[in-house]
Structure 1
Amino acid sequence: MKVCRNLTAVFTVCWAVLGCLQAVTLEVNEGNSTCIKAELSASLSITYVSSNSSRTVSVPLPDSASVDAANSSCGADGSPAQLVAAFGAGHALGLSFSTNGSVYSVRNLTLRYNLSDASLFPEASSSGVVTVTNDSVEIWAPINTTYRCMSPTTIVASGDSVTFSRMKLEAYMPGNDLSPAESVCTADQSTTPATPTTAGTTTTAAPAPTPPGAPERGTYSVKDSNGTECLLAQMGLQLNVSYVSQSQNKTVQELFNLTPNLTSWSGSCGASRATLVLTQEPTLTLSFTFTMNTTTNKYRLSGMGLQANWTDMAAPFSASNASLDFLRSTLGHSYMCNAEQTLQVAPAFSLNTFRLQVQPFGVKTKQFAAAEECQVDQDQMLIPIVVGAALAGLVLIVLIAYLIGRKRSHAGYQTI
């Protein structure tokens, strides 16, 4: 049966103290149901070569933008959902979405611009359409939850950039309007909530929680479309999160160990990008994004995100970073670090890892390839060697001194 997609774009105007700011509402519909909805402002920063020099232009997403019906979809039959806004003379801004059933995320951002448009790119030295992408956007939220970020968020794509602001976004929607439950980005979260004052009451500070011990090591893997393992990971994970406590009316810091037997996992594998998503229903989702430099054959952990909604949180917690540079290794090798290491993701979130080994690319069998060890492990292996060498040297010095002393002692008894 042929499905008729009705795609509309409705534009609203928002007034601020310094003038008029435009916001656009974009909807992707399938039949009478809305599957993607975005309310946002966007400013594009594009660098191009003119006849004399390099120029950078700032282009706001205009009120003439419309949803590109040919390239937007709800993602049927396992294909990613797509929202593409077209504007001007061949320009477009696109977001591609994926989901694992519990979390949806922006899989990549695509910016397409036409250098032949002299109104935006005067005196451009070349013509034609340029397309740039970013595969590590790190915008995500639980299913049936609206992602909200009023603060400016800049996403870089091959030297160009897109800055979103006043963003509300939801994909794989259950209804025709944005869900009332919201996942708020880190930049929007307040760390200094107002403390309510009640006359005649005394507040007793809650006892500090007992720090957990080292976390249990979990084993996780991701399979490709052929059912073959393409990502392997073994690690103990401990979350270090600062959040607003509902009971204490202040920001508190808490350590939380991920429990492997209560955790489900999913992910995806590609030639230059792999993901691992760990979910501990219904309160926690932790995602890892690995990227490969196909020129150097080096890979790294480039992005990480956390969504949490613990009992004492005043609001759901969300933190992400798509510009990380951790766990670096070479294609054909795994990365290993037995020592505890701390990965700082955001001001309010860091991750402590224990007995970690991971291989997101180049998995040939169900076993890890030869490991490239972290510097901490190498240093710890070097210390016993240095100490042993020092002790051996000390023993040798004592032995030589003893032999010299013994020789002199015998010389004193020679016959005159």
Structure 2
Amino acid sequence: MELLCFEALLEVAGLVHGASAVFVVKNGNGTACIMADFSATFLTSYDTRSGPQNKSFELPAGAEVSNSSSCGKENASDSSLVITFGRGHTLTLIFTRNATRYEVQLMRFAYNLSDTDTFPNSSSTGVKTVESATDIKADINKTYRCVSETQVNMDNVTVTLRDAAIQAYLSSSNFSREGEDPAEAPAPTVGKVPSSLRVGSSRVQGKAGGPSAFFMDPAVFRYNVSGSNGTCLLASMGLQLNVTYRTVDNKTVTREFNVNPNKTTFGGNCSATLATLELHSENLLLLALQFVMNESSSRVFLQGVQLNLTLPDAKEGSFTATNSSLRALQATAGNSYKCNAEQRLRVTSSFSLNMFRVWLQAFRVDGDKFGPVEECRLDENSMLIPIAVGGALAGLVLIVLLAYLIGRKRSHAGYQTI
């Protein structure tokens, strides 16, 4: 789960969302044990007869607290808030606590693909359920508050909460006056930010004690590209643009922008040896990732990246970069490439594409399933470190033991038995 609570972001990005609603769970005595006030947006993709379709929808004003919600036993064990809306859609927040803290241990979303109003032309029916752990937590008797966004990624569904005030295990039937905001870091000065991009960080140079950079990972989303022969590209990843440019006041700056799936559409095209994923939004005019297959070696890799980005504070008003001679994200045809570690792909001297939690496969894709996994070297190295440390510790213990035994033997060498 990725936590994105950046108070200034709503103003600079001009985000619009639906009205918030207050949801209350009460025990048998009529005392509230859970209160939640937020608006929510759901973003997912689903299959239609004409190919994958993106769908974004809001939590409606008519959403209700289900009778299956619970305060737990004596307000001390796991409790849950279950919200129902539409034709069979359910959002569940499951809380747990210890002596000092409580948290939303799990968020679960069940959506009904048979709801033709929400999912028109869906090729599947029935209820699909996804879930994920979250970072929503606060001290007992304090309210979790996040003015901007709290984002939870669950498989191919992204749930974004806004203007959130959430509290469980209440001591009174109202929100605590004390709040806990996870966005404790000061926001950097970022200028005017494209509404389709989230600010990832602003590189700030200066003396110690000066402004600190605010970092947050991009949302992970599942993309796919299909052609006449079925799916040719399947990818789950978070994308971040690292660009260096001159501003209107003639300063050189380096900034990172997270690609926001909520504001982005995707498509592409397929051929026997070429698969292209294209992302578009209001300001992200084009981000194209071009994968090729070398038929002689049966290797698949990312060969080309093209970026066309509108930047209102840039001297030129826009930013473009392209490279068609890369050999990145390599895997054998029929296998998938996976890398949990952050990867920084240098496209040009002024543009790097940062990729998070990548799992992708181009060519020879079986429906919507990834093939056998080929791990990236970054993940392999991260596994080798604890193995090496463990081996070194074991060797050290063995050396100490041998030294002890040798020393003990020598200490007895000068004595005789009487």
Q: TM-score when scaled to structure 1?
A: 0.47
Larger of the two Rg values belongs to structure: 1
Q: Which has the higher contact order (CA 8 A, sep 6+)?
A: 2
